[in-house]
């Protein structure tokens, strides 16, 4: 046996008894830190994901219009967007479609009091003389007499229902003091509405230098039909005026194929014109078709334009469809790495009318903070269904409970 000095002489070191203690303490500290982190750290929040593509198209091909040669056509779903447009879409005379803008300027400048008919407008002797001249020339006019008083509502009815050219000029004089000043207002509103291919030369449409396109008139019709006063007037089959008596709507399509407005027109240079609206129901959901037919130079221009409108309505109805989700429809899943996925379902029925081939967008909006554990039936966000300018929303809930992270999952994922 070597003595202790001999051990030292040979370079031998006795084991240090404090090393295992330090190593064990370090391991203990690491375990404590790991456990603390595992038990106190926030697990990742659950994520919502769609069970179908966020972008899709309505079943079938996009709608296609087939107008007669030289005719412009356009059709839209009110409040959603343009379905189709055909023809050259170059400015063409629009005749009495002009009175749509005339009415909009009047209604903007002189809003109706609630349940009222607006102020009285007195017909001047000069306006009676103009009426007589235009009647002799074969214009579309409504009988008037000097001193006759028309309420604002009656004057609008006279301009829009029997399409009185002279009544449109009465309204222009009453609103702006002169036809020229009123036409400036018409063109200013056209620019504000983005009608870049539209120009007005008068309030009635008899001048062929008043021009527009089917797509511009389509947009204007949507704006006009959003006004309840305008919408109610153009749906009337007839009106009764103080001097003229009963006057009938020149819109011969009114009431056919759901058509409930809005305005016809004809001048030799621009042929037959018709901007129309039609109510329809698609899969139990109401919708409104807006359309325009311009520059129909057929053998019977205005009847041909009216017939074309009915064909467009019928064809469009065949192209309409709905995006629909019933209550309890599974539209998304809620996922977390510590739990099995959970179905997310709609809380109420939701539907949106669109057309075949139209882009449809589905978007999820999760609630701001989703807890790691979520009970069954808990609101977790909403689904947004978009097509064109329209959007529908529905709240979403969990179909089952999402389990929170287990003790062992936390230990493994500090």
pLDDT tens track for 171-187: 999 999 999 999 999 99
Say if 47-58+325-412 and 92-211+218-250 have the same CATH topology.
Answer: no
Q: In what side-by-side order are the strands of the sheet with 81-86?
A: 81-86, 72-77, 285-296, 271-282, 259-267
Query: DSSP label at 385?
Result: E
- Residue 261 has φ and ψ, to the nearest 5°, of 160, 180
What are the pLDDT digits (tens) for 300-318?
A: 999 999 999 999 999 999 9
The answer on pLDDT for 1 being more than 80 is no
Residue with tokens 């008596």: 245
Q: Of 150-159, 312-321, 373-382, which has the strongest mean pLDDT?
A: 150-159
Please list, in sequence order, all residues whose beta carbon lies within 8 angstroms of the beta carbon of residue 33, skipping any fewer than 6 positions away.
none
Share of the chain above pLDDT 70, in %: 85
Give me the architecture of the 92-211+218-250 domain, per CATH. Answer: 3-Layer(aba) Sandwich (3.40)
| Helix (DSSP H) and strand (DSSP E) numbers for the chain | 11, 20
Where are the domains positioned within the chain?
47-58+325-412, 92-211+218-250
What CATH fold (topology level) applies to the domain 47-58+325-412?
A: Peptidoglycan synthesis regulatory factor (PBP3), Domain 2 (2.60.410)
Structure tokens at 220: 């204007």
What are the pLDDT digits (tens) for 337-377?
A: 888 899 999 999 999 999 988 899 999 999 887 888 889 99
The answer on pLDDT for 9 being more than 60 is no
Cα gap 273→163, rounded to integer Å: 13
What is the reported pLDDT for 241? 97
State the pTM of this model: 0.83
What is the reported pLDDT for 2? 47
Mean pLDDT of the chain: 89
Closest CA to 83 of 392, 385, 312: 312
Residue 1, number of CB atoms within 10 A of its CB: 4
């Amino acid at each position: 046996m070597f003595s202790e000095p001999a051990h030292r002489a040979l370079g031998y070191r006795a084991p240090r008894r404090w090393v295992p203690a330090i190593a064990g303490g370090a391991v203990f500290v690491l375990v404590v830190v790991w456990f603390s982190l595992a038990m106190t750290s926030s697990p990742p929040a659950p994520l919502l994901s769609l069970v179908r593509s966020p972008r899709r198209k309505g079943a079938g091909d996009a709608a296609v219009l087939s107008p007669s040669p030289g005719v412009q056509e356009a059709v839209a779903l009110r409040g959603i967007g343009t379905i189709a447009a055909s023809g050259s879409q170059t400015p063409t005379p629009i005749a009495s479609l002009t009175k749509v803008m005339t009415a909009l300027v009047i209604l903007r400048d002189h809003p109706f009091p609630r349940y009222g008919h607006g102020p009285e407008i007195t017909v001047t002797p000069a306006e009676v003389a103009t009426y007589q001249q235009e009647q002799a020339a074969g214009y579309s006019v409504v009988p008037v007499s000097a001193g006759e008083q028309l309420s604002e509502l009656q004057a609008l009815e006279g301009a829009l229902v029997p399409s009185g050219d002279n009544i449109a000029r009465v309204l222009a004089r009453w609103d702006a003091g002169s036809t020229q000043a009123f036409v400036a207002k018409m063109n200013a509103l056209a620019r504000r509405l983005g009608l870049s291919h539209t120009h007005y030369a008068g309030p009635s449409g008899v001048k062929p230098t008043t021009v527009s396109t089917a797509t511009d008139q389509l947009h204007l019709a949507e704006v006009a039909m959003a006004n309840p006063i305008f919408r109610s007037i153009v749906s009337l089959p007839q009106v009764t005026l103080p001097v003229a008596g009963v006057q009938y709507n020149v819109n011969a399509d009114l009431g056919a194929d759901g058509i409930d407005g809005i305005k016809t027109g004809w001048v030799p240079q621009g042929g037959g014109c018709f901007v129309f609206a039609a109510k329809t129901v698609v899969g139990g959901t109401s919708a409104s078709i807006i359309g325009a037919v311009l520059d129909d130079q057929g053998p019977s221009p205005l009847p041909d334009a009216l017939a074309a409108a009915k064909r467009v309505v019928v064809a469009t109805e065949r192209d309409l469809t709905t995006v629909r989700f019933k209550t309890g429809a599974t539209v998304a899943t809620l996922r977390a790495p510590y739990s099995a996925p959970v179905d997310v379902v709609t809380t109420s029925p939701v539907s949106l009318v669109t057309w075949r081939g139209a882009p449809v967008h589905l978007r999820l909006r999760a609630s701001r903070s989703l807890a790691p554990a979520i009970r069954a039936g808990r609101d977790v966000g909403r689904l947004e269904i978009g097509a064109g300018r329209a959007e529908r929303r529905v709240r979403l809930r969990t179909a089952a409970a999402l389990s929170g992270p287990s003790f062992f999952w936390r230990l493994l994922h500090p």
